[in-house]
Amino acid sequence: MHAIFITFRSSANPDDLAEPFLQYANALRDGAIPGFCSKTWLGNDDHVAGFHMFETVEAAERFLAEMFTPNIATNPAFTDIRIERFAVDEHMSAITNGLPASVAVPA
């Protein structure tokens, strides 16, 4: 498994982002990126963020190329974009319920 943590600043009104972000979430849920497992939506007063889980590095890279870059990274309202990539320790994550429900728990 592979994880991506993304943060960015937004000059857009949060109310104006509700519908586009809902469409984005529905596309992910509906299989727009094969190998996508889950996204946790995060934010505070300064940043919008998300923690994404994928079955493979290739699926994560496909997400960045096909969904994130054209929809978020190229939007001038979003700045200070930071993308961090991580390998997932599936064994330890299973112990702490950190894996998406669709992922088999490793022995």
Q: What is the pLDDT of residues 15-27, one digit of tens each?
A: 999 999 999 999 9
Q: Are 39 and 28 in contact (CB under 8 A)?
A: yes
Angle at 93 between CA 102 and CA 59, to 5 degrees: 55
pLDDT tens, position by position, 70-80: 989 999 999 99
Per-residue model confidence (pLDDT) at position 20: 92
- Backbone Cα Rg of the chain: 14
Question: What's the pLDDT band for 102 if we cut at 50, 70, 90?
Answer: low
Q: What mean pLDDT comes out for the span 46-55?
A: 94
* Average pLDDT for the chain: 91
Lowest mean pLDDT among 10-14, 69-73, 102-106: 102-106
Domains in the chain: ranges and CATH? 2-95 (3.30.70.100)
